[in-house]
Amino acid sequence: MNPISKEQSIRGAFFGAIVADSLCLGSHYEYDAIKIHEAYGSRPIEKFMSPGELMGGQTHGIGWGERNYHPGKKAGGTTDYGDYNILILEHLAATAEPPRLFEVADLIPHWINRLENDWGSWICTMTRETYAQVKQGVPIEQLGGISNAMAIRHVASHAYYETEEELVDVARKSMFTHTNEHALGGGEFFARVTHRVINGAIPAVAIQEVAAQMGGFF
């Protein structure tokens, strides 16, 4: 019998995602493999680091130049990927009653408020593009850009929705800044795997099952 309750598993999934993201803050948006190797070598990452801490205070985003991409963050903070998970958590907590399906239109006002007043992280190109589209009145179903960069933003929804298909729906809709099927499919893959692990599946088995189920995607 699994001694870990479903509630504990859900908490573990959410906080595990946030902690993992925080551990990435020191080198986030660094794409120079040599610079990363010189900073870390073969040493394990054993502490939270401020943006670019071992890299001269800056990281090198391809096409965007070298800078501190998260000037509002300190060691232990999240990148924009973690921020999106917190955004979804806040949204679900604020709209918990009555129960409802996840809709991008309901999320947009909170998303805009955070972007304009309390983001603190780098605002990625797809987020900027989608923000501009919203301001221009582009319909919800047409929002997003072509980047294939997959992100997991939906983790908090495992505490709100019960079925795998509901969670897949949130995973895809929370990636409303992207239209690329590989980005959306990647989020769906991890939503399905996480749901099954939370409900007792062995991780390796869940990964294999979902990969087989989504064989056409891969």
Q: Locate 26 and state its tokens.
A: 């020191």
Q: Which residue has the tokens 């680091």?
A: 49
Burial status of residue 162 (CB atoms within 10 A of its CB: 0-12, 13-18, 19 or more): exposed
Domain boundaries, the chain: 6-213
pLDDT at 218: 57
What is the CATH architecture of 6-213? Orthogonal Bundle (1.10)
Q: Kindly list the distances between the CA atom of residue 16 and the CA atoms of 21, 76, 180, in Å, as whole numbers in the listed order.
A: 8, 13, 26
Distance of CA 73 to the CA centre of its chain: 17
| pLDDT tens, N- to C-terminus, the chain (218 residues) | 668 899 999 999 999 999 999 999 999 999 999 989 988 888 888 899 999 999 999 999 888 889 999 988 999 999 999 999 999 999 999 998 898 999 999 999 999 999 999 898 999 999 999 999 999 999 999 999 999 999 999 999 999 999 999 999 999 999 999 999 999 999 999 999 999 999 999 999 999 999 999 986 65
State the Rg of the chain over Cα: 18
- d(C-alpha 125, C-alpha 59), whole Å: 16
pLDDT at 2: 67
Q: Which residue has the tokens 């800044």?
A: 177
pLDDT at 129: 98
pLDDT at 72: 86
